[in-house]
Amino acid sequence: MYKRFHINTYDDAEPTYLKKSETHPFNPRVSKIGLAKMLAKEALHLNKELLTKEGRDYMLSRPCIYGVFSRPVGGFWPVKEKCTGCMRCVQEHPDMITVEHNPKFYFLEDSYWMPERDVRETPVSRVHFEARTGKILVRGMGYTGYFAGQGWDSLWTDMSEIVRPTRDGVHGREYISTEVNLGRKPAHVDFKAPVNTLDAPLPILFDSLPKNMTNQDIMNATKRAASEIGTFFIERLENVLLLATPHVLVPLLDKHNMNLIDCLESAPAVEYVGNRDVYESAQTFGTPVFARIPFNKDVVRHGTRLVEDGVDGLHVYANYHGMSFDSNTFFKDGLKDLHYALVKNGLRSQVSIIASGGITLAEHVPKAILSGADAVGLDTTIPIALEYKLKGNCVLPEKSSIQQRSLDVMWGQKRLVNLMASWHSQLIEVMSAMGVRDVRRLSGETGRLIENTYISEDWLGETIV
């Protein structure tokens, strides 16, 4: 019986580890004296009518329809968490009420995750929403942020107008496939030889985190989420041996742990970092082998050589802010260069590129794929979705850490499943707007990527960002 790929979401993945004061963007403040004065004035005005229920109700009717003043004492003790920043109370009583941004809402110091203060939403709060609900955030009004920005914010994805069709509303009749086949494929098919690839139902994998960015609970939750969804979790071999469910785990080998490979019976694919010896160990199971290489000035030469030598795919990682490790280049340019270098030597469609590092929000996924990746790896988003806090500015993976605490693994699983469901839906939104029905056709499709650097040059002859 055919079932279209769908991730079931959980509606019980409520905030658990954040302080209440950190969850709301607005702080309504009422001057108690002003309120008392106002009530007294109204009471005098109404006079006898106060004896009627209607009179009292009239005097006590609140300006807030969201329940901020819903306590019996009303404005004397506002329910701050309910404030949506609609400002109606300030409009009605500008001398008595103030609504400000809540400084506790901006609780991270990392400039990639908390690029600004005093906004109603941050990347962190967005991820929390997605992990809590599994839904796409839908709101009224338009986009309220900066015109463009750096990094992924300097890109827009294209859409299809009337000339090409897209999808039938939110619940479409059309099929949009998000499946990816990672690994080596032949240029043309030999029907006798099998094609062995790592097949995931969506182009998002969980990537391994350095020691200080994770713990046993996080890894467990991640593994369980990967298993439930059908995607994969790349994790260091020594940790893989501690987690069960080998069919979702892609062990990461290096020169220190490569000998442990014999402890594993099988692996759906293997990733490695290092030289030929490690590569050979990685080939133990005859499953796809991906070379993990950093995004730096050498990435094109390094990656092309590895592909020519026979590696089944590359996993390119930038730093946690999406930048090259040794130059001021953003990931999208590195991916484009690598993609086109492989097109030039005729090998691009025969191998896969996984990209991670600085891919933290749902909107980055299609942009990274359009720039040249086949799939992306989640890293810092995992602890954020689990309500962990990053310590300081986390740029270099090995130097990054989270504020450690325990984790309810079942809850963690639900949060990550919800997150993936939301990201999957959002990927489909973007693809359907573009009129592309298969994510495998999206890789490197730069014709559908609108880059601010290029169009603003046509506009006023210079980049205006």
Partner 1 sequence: MNLDAYTKKHRNNIQSGVYLSDDSDFERLKKSFAGLGNKRWSLELIVSTWYQASQGKPPRDWEYKTGLSRGGFDAIEFAFPYTLEDEVVSQDSIDLSIDLNKRSTGQKISIPLPTYGAGMSYGSVSLATMLSRVKAAKQLGTFSSTGEGGYPEELLPYKEHVITQVATGMFGVTENTIKHSRIVELKYAQGAKPGLGGHLLSPKVTESVAKMRGSVKGVSLYSPFPFHSVYSVEDHKSHLEWIKTINPSAPVSVKVSTPSDIDMVAVGSYYAGANIINLDGAYGATGAAPEIAKKNIAMPLEYAINKTHTYLVKEGVRDEVVLMASGGIRTAYDVAKAIALGADGCVIGSAELIPLACTQCGNCESGRGCQVGIATTDPDLSRLIDNEWGAKRIVNMYDSWKIQWKEILAQLGMKRITELRGRKDLLKKRGVPA
Partner 2 sequence: MTADTIISSRKKLVPHYTTNTQSPAEGGCGVLGVASSAPIHGRYLLEALAQMRNRGNGKGGGIASVGLDNTWFGVSENVMKQDYLLQIAYLDDVDKQVEEEHIKPLFDIDHTFLYNTKEHASQGLSIRPPHVKSYFARVKEERVKDFSKQLPGLLRTAVEDELVYQNSFQLNNAWYSSLGEKKAFVLSHGKDMMVLKLVGYAEDVITHYCLEDLAAHLWIGHHRYPTKGTVWHPGGAHPFVGMQHALVHNGDFSNYQGVKNYLAQQNMHPLFLTDTEVGALLFDLYDRVYDYSLEHVIEAMAPTTERDFEMLDKTKKKEYKALQKAHIMGSPDGPWFFITAGNNHKKNEYQLTGITDTSMLRPQVFALLDEPDQKIGLVASERQVINAFLRGLYKHKKISVKFADKYWNARGGSYTDGGAFTFAVNKDTRELECRNKFGEKVRVDE
Q: How many residues bind to partner 1 according to rule CB under 8 A?
A: 86
Does position 367 interact with partner 2 (CB under 8 A)? The reply is no
Q: How many Cβ atoms sit within 10 Å of the Cβ of residue 140?
A: 4
Question: From the list 321, 415, 424, 448, which residue makes contact with partner 1 (rule: CB under 8 A)?
Answer: 448
Query: Which residues 113-172 are close enough to bind partner 2 by CB under 8 A?
Result: 160, 163-165
354 bridge partner residues: 315, 375
- Pick from 79, 437, 450, 456 the residue near partner 2 by CB under 8 A: 437
CA distance linking residue 56 with residue 73, whole number of Å: 14
Closest by CA position to 242, among listed 272, 278, 217, 274: 217
- Is residue 343 within the footprint of partner 1 (CB under 8 A)? no
Residues 27-56 close enough to bind partner 1 by CB under 8 A: 27, 49, 52, 54-55
Instruction: State the nearest-atom distance from the C-beta of 134 to partner 2, in Å.
Output: 23
DSSP state of 328: S
Per-residue mark of binding to partner 1, 363-382 (x: CB under 8 A): x--xx---------------
- Whole-angstrom distance, CA of residue 35 vs CA of residue 110: 39
Q: How far is the CB of 259 from partner 2 (least distance, A)?
A: 33
Q: Whole-number minimum distance, CB 187 to partner 2, in Å?
A: 7
| Binding segment toward partner 2, per CB under 8 A, in 48-56, 131-139, 184-192, 412-420 | 184-192
Of the candidate residues 181, 284, 456, 463, the single one contacting partner 2 (CB under 8 A): 181
Question: What is the bridge-based pairing of β-strands 289-294 and 313-317?
Answer: parallel
| 458 lies in the site for partner 2, by CB under 8 A | no
Shortest separation between residue 81's beta carbon and partner 1, angstroms: 14
Binding of partner 2 at residue 19 (CB under 8 A)? Answer: no
Please say which residue, 122 or 329, places its beta carbon nearer to partner 2.
Answer: 329
C-alpha distances in Å from residue 328, one per residue of 11, 148, 288, 297, 393 = 42, 18, 32, 10, 17
Contacts 24+ apart (CB under 8 A), 220-226: 220/409, 220/412, 221/386, 221/407, 221/409, 221/411, 221/412, 221/413, 221/415, 221/416, 222/382, 222/412, 222/416, 223/248, 223/249, 224/409, 224/412, 224/413, 225/412, 225/413, 225/416, 225/417, 225/420
Query: Which range binds partner 2 by CB under 8 A, 50-58, 114-122, 181-189, 421-429?
Result: 181-189
166 close to 435: Cβ distance less than 8 angstroms: yes
Asked if 356 and 208 touch (Cβ cutoff 8 Å), the reply is no
For residue 178, the partner it binds in partner 2, partner 1, none, with Cβ less than 5 to 8 A by kind, is none
Handedness of CA 354, 358, 363, 367 (dihedral sign): negative
Comparison of 351 and 376: residue with beta carbon closer to partner 2: 351
Binding site for partner 2 (CB under 8 A): 2, 4, 160, 163-165, 174-175, 177, 181, 185-189, 191, 194-195, 197, 340, 343-344, 346-349, 434-438, 440-448
